[in-house]
A and B are shown apart, each in its own frame.
Chain A
Amino acid sequence: MYEHDVIVVGAGGAGLRAAIGAHEAGADVAMVSKLHPVRSHTGAAEGGINAALREGDDWELHAYDTMKGSDYLGDAPAIETLAQDAPEDTIRLEHWGMPFSREDDGRVSQRPFGGLSFPRTTYAGAETGHHLLHTLYEQVVKRGIQVYDEWYVMNLAVSGEADPNDRSCHGVVAYDVQSGGVEGFRARDGVILATGGPGQAFDHTTNAVSCTGDGNAMAYRAGVPMEDMEFVQFHPTTLPSTGVLISEGVRGEGGILYNEGGERFMFERGYANNDGELASRDVVSRAELTEVNEGRGIEDEYVHLDMRHLGSERILDRLENILHLAEDFEGVDGLVEPMPVKPGQHYEMGGIETDENGQTCIDGLYAAGECACVSVHGANRLGGNALPELVVFGKRAGRHAAGEDLGAPEIETGYGDDVEDEGMELPVTPGEAGLPERGSGEAVADGAGAVADAEGLVERAVDRERERVERLMGRDDGVQHAEIRAKLQQAMTADVNVFRNREGVERALETIRECREEYRDVYVDDPSRTFNTDLQQTIETRNLIDVAETIALGALVRNEFRGAHWRQENQERDDDEWLKHTLISWNGGKPSIWYRPVILEGQDKTYEPKTRSY
């Protein structure tokens, strides 16, 4: 068994910053990640880091923009913490050598971004995430922080008290991808989940293949509520064959969207008479899909994004990278033909419920980054707000786990007195989430049974996961995970996409249930213990099923249109009913849904919900 003070799961931006934070606070910290750190998906972020650095800007403006952008579903203490900490944490990155773009006077460059009242998006070319990731990894190397790379964390070691609020986390169980060994990692002070988004729950996503919501699923099964999972951002311009992102910058420079008949539909079909192509992401995504659904799409699938009229000089100067992406990944030359684009899953606003210090309702269990929901982004994330979230809340989680006093949090976590529980009857049986894999012998493997000492608890968890591996490897036939995953992804994209209605979401939930049942007979064909990605992906697929179900359940119960979540039956924001977070708890394997009011009271003022128009 390995043993450290703090174990960080995942080594993207949030995980790296958490590890540095814990190290700064004096902890013996180790990172466990299924990828080598520089392979993490933070590297794909393009835009930049929002931070109020300059005269004329201040954190309160950043907080206001973020609250408005969230469609008033972000919690004020989280948003204000983000806005207050972002400047110092961004400048810290500069001191660590991050190669930001520069102004004539040598200061770091900032640019305007959608929804911002001040150009505060601090950037390093169109590769800000890549530079952020590598800079943070360099600092981890410098500090000699132990990294267990290509170790896949399969589960958490959490005690088994009846009330999740009484439970505690003592480590993780991980699988060494290279050798196939399953080992325990005991965390004396805390486990920090920084596993990124669950984009692979959809079949068309800008997310990496590794973005399988592992942290979400593990925390969920251990008893931590999933918050606001229905809020999924769909980016309007992704390449149809791969989901590779075509930056908003193309439209920013004057790129135009056309349907099959050559209509500039954003105007001609009246989707956004003022802003046209530059309307917000959700508006443009819905417009594109409407065109396709009504038969005006190209090959019934996509629309065209045309930038040829900008001229090759301007394109080469400002959008060179886009030419490479379109050519490398779609085989299209953006200088001579329009680029095919369609909406793709991009970012999960919801996640593991945490407070401002990254702590969940389970003692010793933390989360930060896209897998977490503090909640900063609410119903809609503004461009440039994901990267500051990584550094701000990664740092805080790391420090708090290492024992630093960051003050009492204002955000409550876990089921408690302040929640609203309608005890509503769900229209479909949501999956019987605890359906066991055949032969597993127990209904719910996670968090069951109390063990007196922490080490014994980790050991027990290791035994369970070893049994699980043997079970999956031992079967000779059945169904393979790829089939189940494809079915799940197609169902989510078909019915829990940009457009949602009750009927569709219910259909998706039925399919998710089928996936769950089929998964009982899943088997791993590759008999090897060496680098068995078949086994790893089979476990990931189980996680995707659990996470997809929370997304669909949230989408089912929230009968209003807020931010990225659109419902056909109620196409308006409903503040009387829905100024509250959706929380889904794993209740002995059966999801239960409850609500907690949004916190609109900030440090000095209360944010009044207004119409979100730009």
Chain B
Amino acid sequence: MSTQQESVESEPEEPESQEVPEDQEMSGLASPQQERLQRKQAALEERERAESDHDMDDDRVHLKVFRYDPEVEGKQEPRFDDFHVPFERGMTVLDALIYARDEFDSSLTFRHSCRQAICGSDAFFINGRQRLGCKTQIADLDQPVRVEPLPHQEAVKDLVVEMEHFYDQMHAVEPYFQDEETPDASELDEQRQSRENREKVKMSTRCIWCGACMSSCNIAAGDNEYLGPAAINKAYRFAMDDREDEEIKEHRLRILEQEHGVWRCQTQFSCTEVCPKDIPLTEHIQELKREAVKKNLKFW
């Protein structure tokens, strides 16, 4: 066994909340995709520099992984274990965790499935930030690579957190088409939707329920009933879809403007920063606030 136990107290504290991005003006910015590409380009250049410095050659990745098990002696007090995993080009944090589990310690526990950032199982707190293990390149990270469960969620074991609360919030916004009066599908008559409207909801439909946003949100951390960015985004996806009628949209806005709804958001952008699918969550929440105001004005 190549792991060594290490006291958790000796670790420096990592900030759990994200910095507010420098530019909060959404208007002047390029699209999220372009921004992401720019970020990627910069990261890639950085990675190439790192690799050409031979830092990685024949080297091992040093992982510090959070360990906890409520029923196993020695793991009931949270600790960090060290793993030294041989580095390979293209290696992700998930690859390194799988190697550590299969080669060193089969009890190392974490959720993962698709390995390609679509199942949303493996959001962890990596070097102080919510990220998907499968799409985080080791070469982009400072070592040792510190992997912890998502903050603000109850730890079940090692990197596994309780997701029930997250699912409850997702379900609370009635995340499904409400129309009962759908035309007979056997007539092959689809509902029409404009390209613009589809484009309007497109980013919101990309959510993979990973929970990174909820974990990053200070408001959600302090108010357990706050719907949170993912659920509000899910509501946005339906509220903005023209295929549902106005009455249902108003019903959706009523859910969202309740005490623990959109108004709790303080536009810190932490959710938008960590979203692995580049969904402009804060922007969606702001837009729903405006919609809620408009709806209420209508009744005055």
Give the B-binding residues of A (Cβ under 8 A).
35-36, 38-41, 43-44, 53, 87-89, 91-92, 94-97, 99-108, 125, 127, 130-131, 134, 138-139, 141-142, 178, 208-210, 239, 241-245, 316, 320, 323-325, 327-333, 480-482, 486, 524-534
**B106 and A242 within 8 A (CB):** no
B54 at interface, CB cutoff 8 A: no
Write the B43-73 contact mask toward A (1 if CB under 8 angstroms, else 0).
Answer: 0100100000000000000000000011110
Given A40-B119, A178-B156, check contact A526 B182 (CB 8 Å): no
Tell me whether B112 and A244 are in contact (CB under 8 A).
no
Residues 149 to 187 of chain B near chain A (Cβ within 8 Å)? 156-158, 160, 163, 167, 171, 174-177, 179, 182-183, 185-186
Contacts of A139 in B (CB 8 A): 176
Indicate if the CB atoms of B91 and A525 lie closer than 8 Å.
Answer: no
Judged by a CB distance under 8 angstroms, whether B268 is at the interface is no
Besides A91-B190, A530-B71, 7 other A-B contacts (C-beta < 8 A): A36-B167, A44-B118, A99-B201, A106-B194, A138-B175, A528-B157, A532-B107
Chain A CB within 8 A of B224 CB:
no
Interface centre among A36, A40, A210, A325 (most CB of B within 10 A): A36
Q: How far is the CA of A96 from the CA of B241 in the complex (A)?
A: 12
Which of A95, A102, A178 makes the CB contact (< 8 A) with B183? A95
B119/A208 in contact, CB under 8 A: yes
User: Considering the chains assembled together, what is the distance between the CA atoms of A204 and B118 in angstroms?
Assistant: 18
> Is there contact, CB below 8 Å, between B205 and A241?
no
Contact of B205 among A134, A239, A324, A481 (CB under 8 A): A134
A526 engages B71 (CB within 8 Å): no
Q: Are B202 and A125 in contact (CB under 8 A)?
A: yes
Q: List 7 A-B contacts (CB under 8 A).
A: A44-B116, A95-B183, A208-B119, A332-B90, A486-B102, A528-B69, A530-B70
Q: How many whole Å from A97's CB to the nearest CB in chain B?
A: 4
Q: How far is the CA of A105 from the CA of B195 in the complex (A)?
A: 9
Check B241 against A92 for contact (C-beta < 8 Å). Answer: no
Contacting residue for B191 out of A95, A101, A131, A524, CB 8 A: A95
The answer to whether B171 and A141 touch across the interface, beta carbons within 8 angstroms, is: yes
**Closest CB in chain B relative to A152 CB, distance in Å:** 13
CA distance A79 to B129 in the complex (A): 49
Do the beta carbons of B119 and A43 come within 8 Å of each other? yes
Whether B188 contacts A53 by the Cβ 8 Å rule is yes
Q: B171 — which chain A residues lie within 8 A by C-beta?
A: 141
Tell whether B121 is near chain A: CB-to-CB under 8 Å.
yes
Q: B59 to chain A: closest CB distance in Å?
A: 15
Smallest CB–CB gap between A345 and chain B, Å?
14
Q: A39-B120, A241-B90 are in contact. Are A525 and B106 (CB under 8 A)?
A: yes
In the complex, are the beta carbons of A39 and B40 less than 8 A apart?
A: no
The 6 nearest A-B residue pairs measured at CB: A106-B192, A526-B107, A97-B177, A138-B176, A142-B176, A95-B182
Indicate if the CB atoms of A97 and B107 lie closer than 8 Å.
no
Would you give the shortest CB distance from A286 to chain B, in whole angstroms? Answer: 25
Residue of A nearest to B158 (CB): A531
Minimum CB–CB distance for B32 against chain A, Å:
11
User: B89 contacts which chain A residues (CB < 8 A)?
Assistant: 241, 331
Q: How far does the alpha carbon of A94 sit from the alpha carbon of B184 in the complex, in Å?
A: 12
**Count of inter-chain pairs, beta carbons less than 8 A:** 194
- Given A43-B114, A529-B71, decide whether A91 and B188 contact each other with a Cβ distance below 8 A: yes
Q: Could you tell me if B193 and A331 are in contact, using CB atoms closer than 8 angstroms? A: no
Residues of B198-236 at the interface with A, using a CB-CB cut-off of 8 Å, are: 198, 201-202, 205-206, 208-209
Query: In the assembled complex, how far is the CB of residue A287 from the closest CB belonging to chain B, in whole angstroms?
Result: 24
Residues of chain A with a CB closer than 8 A to B174's CB? 142
Q: How far is the CB of A24 from chain B (nearest CB, A)?
A: 12
Chain A min CB distance to B98 (Å): 8
B172 to chain A, nearest CB (A): 11
Q: How far is the CA of A99 from the CA of B72 in the complex (A)?
A: 46
Residue from the list A38, A89, A243 in contact with B209, Cβ < 8 A: A38
Are the C-beta atoms of A241 and B37 separated by less than 8 Å? Answer: no
CA–CA, A338 and B179, complex, Å: 48
Q: With an 8 A cutoff between CB atoms, is B11 at the interface?
A: no
Q: Which of A35, A125, A533 contacts B109 (CB 8 A)?
A: A533
Establish whether residues B198 and A101, one from each chain, have CB atoms under 8 Å apart when the complex forms.
yes
Interface residues of B (CB under 8 A from A): 33, 36-37, 40-41, 44, 47, 69-72, 75, 88-92, 95, 101-103, 105-107, 109-121, 134-135, 137, 139, 156-158, 160, 163, 167, 171, 174-177, 179, 182-183, 185-186, 188-195, 198, 201-202, 205-206, 208-209, 238, 241, 243-244
Residues of A within 8 A of B238 (CB): 97
Chain A contacts of B105 at CB under 8 A? 525
How close is B134's CB to chain A, nearest CB, in angstroms? 8
Docked Cα-Cα span, A242 to B98, in Å, equals 12
Q: How distant is the Cα of A244 from the Cα of B115 in the complex, in angstroms?
A: 8
Chain B residues within 8 Å of A331, by CB = 44, 47, 89-90, 137, 139
Bound form: Cα–Cα A450–B145 in Å: 55
The residues of B that contact A44 with a CB separation of less than 8 Å are: 114, 116, 118-119
A104 and B195 CA atoms in complex are apart in Å by 7
Q: Please name all residues of chain B whose beta carbon is closer than 8 Å to the beta carbon of A330 when the two chains form the complex.
A: 90
CB distance from A93 to the nearest CB of B (A): 9
Q: Measured between alpha carbons, how far is A350 from B121 in the docked complex, in Å?
A: 28
Q: Which of B107, B117, B195, B244 contacts A525 (CB 8 A)?
A: B107
Assembled-state Cα–Cα distance A590/B137 (Å): 46
A97-B238, A99-B205, A130-B208 given; A328·B177 CB < 8 A: no
Distance, CA A431 to CA B180, complexed state (A): 54
Cα–Cα, bound, A210→B69 (Å): 23
Distance in angstroms between the alpha carbons of A405 and B137 in the assembled complex: 53
A141 to B135, CA, bound (A): 29
CB atoms of A102 and B120 under 8 A apart: no
**Knowing A41-B119, A44-B118, A130-B208 touch, does A329 contact B106 (C-beta < 8 A)?**
no
Q: How far is the CB of A418 from chain B (nearest CB, A)?
A: 34
Could you say which of A127, A208, A316 contacts B113, with CB atoms under 8 Å apart? Answer: A208
Residues of chain B within 8 A of A210, CB atoms compared: 113
B190 x A327 contact (CB < 8 A): no
Contact across chains for A43 and B118 when beta carbons are under 8 A apart: yes
Task: Determine the distance from Cα of A243 to Cα of B89 in the docked complex, in whole angstroms.
Answer: 14
Q: A95, B177: Cβ atoms under 8 Å?
A: yes
Cα of A525 to Cα of B69 in the assembled complex, Å: 14
Q: Provide the bound-state CA to CA distance between A531 and B163, in Å.
A: 13
Judging by beta carbons under 8 Å apart, are A531 and B157 in contact?
Answer: yes
State A533–B88 Cα separation when bound (angstroms).
25
Q: Tell me, in angstroms, the Cα distance from A41 to B33 when the chains sit together.
A: 25
Residues of B within 8 A of A534 (CB): 106-107
Least Cβ–Cβ distance between A499 and chain B, in angstroms: 26
Residue ID in chain B nearest A97 by CB atoms = B177
| Residue from the list B137, B157, B190 in contact with A94, Cβ < 8 A | B190
Q: Give, as a whole number of angstroms, the nearest-CB distance from B36 to chain A.
A: 8
Contacts of B160 in A (CB 8 A): 531
Task: Give the CA-CA distance A38 to B189 in the complex, in Å.
Answer: 28
B33 near A320 with CB under 8 A, answer yes
Question: Quick check: B107 and A528 within 8 Å, CB to CB?
Answer: yes
Residue contact A92 to B119, C-beta cutoff 8 Å: no
Cross-interface CB contact of B90 among A141, A329, A530, cutoff 8 Å = A329
Q: With the chains together, A330 CA to B175 CA distance in Å?
A: 35
Complex CA gap A360/B119 in Å reads: 30
Contact of A96 among B91, B102, B177, B202 (CB under 8 A): B177
For A532, what are the chain B residues with a Cβ–Cβ distance below 8 Å?
107, 109
> What's the nearest-Cβ distance from chain B to residue A65, in Å?
19
Closest partner residue, chain A, to B195 (CB atom)? A102
> In the complex, what's the smallest C-beta–C-beta distance from B17 to chain A, in angstroms?
25
A92→B193 contact, CB < 8 A: no
| A-chain residues with CB within 8 Å of residue B182 when the two chains form the complex | 95-96
Cα A586 to Cα B169 in complex, Å, equals: 46
A329 to B117, CA, bound (A): 10
Tell me the bound Cα distance from A333 to B38 in angstroms. Answer: 12
- Closest chain B CB from A29 CB (angstroms): 17
Collect the chain B residues with CB atoms within 8 Å of residue A99's CB.
198, 201-202, 205, 241
Report B-chain residues with C-beta under 8 Å of the C-beta of A40: 119
Known contacts A44-B116, A241-B89, A328-B137: does B71 contact A528 (CB below 8 Å)? yes
